[in-house]
Amino acid sequence: MTSEYRLRRSVHFYETDAAGIVHFSWFPRYMEEAEHALWRAAGLSISRPASGIGWPRVAMSFEFYRPLRFEDEFEIQIRITAIEEKRIHYACLLRRGDTQLASGTMTIACTNRAPDGTMKSMPIPREIAARFQVAESTS
Q: Supply the pLDDT for residue 84.
A: 97
Residue 137 belongs to some domain of the structure: no
In-domain check, residue 139: no
Domain containing residue 111: CATH number: 3.10.129.10
Q: Which amino acid is at 14?
A: Y
**Strand, helix or coil for residue 125:** coil
Whether 134 maps to a domain, the answer reads no
Domain range enclosing 123: 4-129
- Residue 138: the pLDDT is 57
Taken in order 31, 138, 101, 96, is the CA torsion positive or negative? negative
Is 82 a domain residue? yes
- Cα separation, 12 vs 123, in Å, equals 38
| Coil/strand/helix, residue 50 | helix
pTM for this model (two decimals): 0.92
The fraction of the chain above a pLDDT of 90, given in percent, is 86
Question: For position 113, what pLDDT does the model report?
Answer: 84
Residue 48 maps to a domain: yes
In a domain, 109, yes or no: yes
Note the pLDDT tens digit of each residue in 90-121: 999 999 999 999 999 999 999 998 888 888 99
The torsion defined by the Cα of 123, 81, 59 and 67, in degrees rounded to 10, comes to -150
Q: Is residue 135 situated within a structural domain?
A: no
Number of domains in the chain: 1
